Amino acid sequence: MGMLRRLDLRADTLPRAAVLRGIVPRAAIDVDAALEIVRPIVDAVRERGVEAALEYTERFDKVRPASVRVPAAALAEALGTLDPAVRAALETSISRARAVHAEQRRADVVTKVVPGGTVTERFVPVRRVGLYAPGGLAVYPSSVVMNVVPAQAAGVESLVVASPPQADNGGLPHPTILAAAALLGVDEVWAVGGAQCVALLAHGGTDTSGEDLEPVDMVTGPGNIYLTAAKRLLRGLIGIDAEAGTTEIAVLADDTADPVHVAADLISQAEHDPNAASVLVTTSEAVADAVDAALAPMVGSTKHTERIRTALSGPQSGTILVANLDDGIAVVDAYAAEHLEIQTADAAAVAARVRNAGAIFVGAWSPVSLGDYCAGSNHVLPTGGCARHSGGLSTQTFLRGIHVVEYTEQALRDVADQVVTLAVAEDLPAHGEAVSARFAR
């Protein structure tokens, strides 16, 4: 018996997608329970601002920062003392991400509907955003890059990066987080994490220095269940991105896959969190056995053995045996993984048939770790099945399409009867009268 529990769907006719969704491994994440935990935190920060945020920070992060806003000198110092190799790697990550995200910005679209009648979709950036970089079990300077690059590409005018303070960095966020922000040209960083962070970003407050902490219009970025629950609670007051919670990887493999590559990639995402999900979907029992055999020594020899072992042996992880690749695609579509690797013959053709995934990594040389840091793609991706309806963070996330409608008198006259007819059909005659009043005189 390997570390991954096994589900054999080869003998069955696959059930329809809705049923399959209930069968695939999934963490029993109790968002309702998390909502109840974070509600008092959000309420307290709304009522008592920074003082409440600092109390929760002391409780959860075991440190009380001198101020929420990180002093400019600390940002400069972090960049000045950054390991040159890490700086060069971050620069590679930033330049590749910038190349991809610059091309995601859609131009305004002007449609001439009829002579004299146009509808323009004008894309306008959100004015001020809060970008979250996690800092609990691990710290994620890469998430600073993945948030900031699309926001800047969209033309966001004012942005704040937030990350939990670290007890071993004097109550400042991790130095590499600060350095990454500085490298990207961000000058506003807040030392606050979790639900209290989202609440403070949404409501604003007065810092310990007396400085105004201006609220934001939108909060994006990945985080644990408490952050996710707070984003859900505050949605509406602020915009949010798709829920990017605890990491998931699914690998669709046939008998051409290299079991050591597959095992390494399953481990790489399990490293994030004991609740992370690693799922192998394969047509080959031999590959499943070989992956199991490879996992044990590899898990034992890596740094975060216990966290990885817990993630791989949890109910959210496992191997699913399928009869053929068609069934494999049906299973990965039902799962809708945050990250999906295709390790099969003719991987590009298989990938083209997948409908639901946050990001797809094609073939033997495109592991998820590449996408985590340096592919140019974004790593803030939907989890928990949200990839069925949402995409990852992109430049468009920070842009709103505003419809600008402009008709001439004649163009309105030409369609007036149809507007009146539909208004009457909806029993909203005043809608029609707003048009006919213009032509009554």
| Half-sphere exposure in the Cβ direction for 225 (13 Å, CA) | 16
Q: Is 272 assigned a ligand-binding role in the annotation? A: yes
Nearer to ligand NAD, 112 or 389 (CB): 389
Is 338 an annotated catalytic residue?
Answer: yes
- Choosing from 101, 304, 339, 379, which is the catalytic residue? 339
Binding of ligand NAD at residue 140 (CB under 6 A)?
Answer: yes
Residue 403 in marked binding region: no
**Binding pattern to ligand NAD, positions 243-282, x when CB under 6 A?**
-x-xx------------------------xx--x------
Among 193, 205, 328, 384, binds ligand NAD (CB under 6 A): 193
Among candidate residues 3, 1, 92, the one with its CA nearest the CA of residue 300: 3
Annotation-wise, does 91 bind a ligand?
no
Q: Which of residues 309-338 bind ligand NAD (CB under 6 A)?
A: 338
Chain centroid, CA 377 distance in Å: 12
Q: Which stretches of 302-357 are DSSP H helices?
A: 305-313, 325-335, 347-352
Q: Where are the beta strands (DSSP E) in 6-132?
A: 6-8, 109-114, 117-125, 128-132
Residue 152's Cβ-side half-sphere holds a number of Cα atoms within 13 Å equal to 18
Closer by beta carbon to ligand NAD, 284 or else 316 = 316
Which tokens go with 164?
């939990």
Provide the minimum distance between the beta carbon of 383 and ligand NAD in the complex, in angstroms, as a whole number. Answer: 5
**Residue 37 binds ligand NAD, judged by CB under 6 A:** yes
Residue 6 in contact with residue 322, Cβ under 8 Å?
Answer: no
CB of 255 to ligand NAD, least distance (A): 30
Looking at 172, 337, 381, 387, which residue binds ligand NAD (CB under 6 A)?
381
* DSSP assignments along 245-297, one per residue: -S-EEEEEE-TTS-HHHHHHHHHHHHTT-TT-EEEEEES-HHHHHHHHHHHHH
Number of residues this chain uses to bind ligand NAD (CB under 6 A) = 30
Hey, is 225 helix, strand or coil? helix
Q: Which of 243, 271, 338, 341 is catalytic?
A: 338
Cβ neighbour number for residue 17 with a 10 Å cutoff:
15
Is 166 labelled as part of a ligand binding site? no
Q: Which residues are catalytic?
A: 338-339
* Residues of the shown chain interacting with ligand NAD in the complex, contacts defined by CB under 6 A: 37, 60-61, 134-138, 140, 143, 164, 193-195, 222-224, 226-227, 244, 246-247, 272-273, 276, 338, 379-381, 383
Q: Which residues are annotated as a binding site for NAD(+)?
A: 132, 196, 224
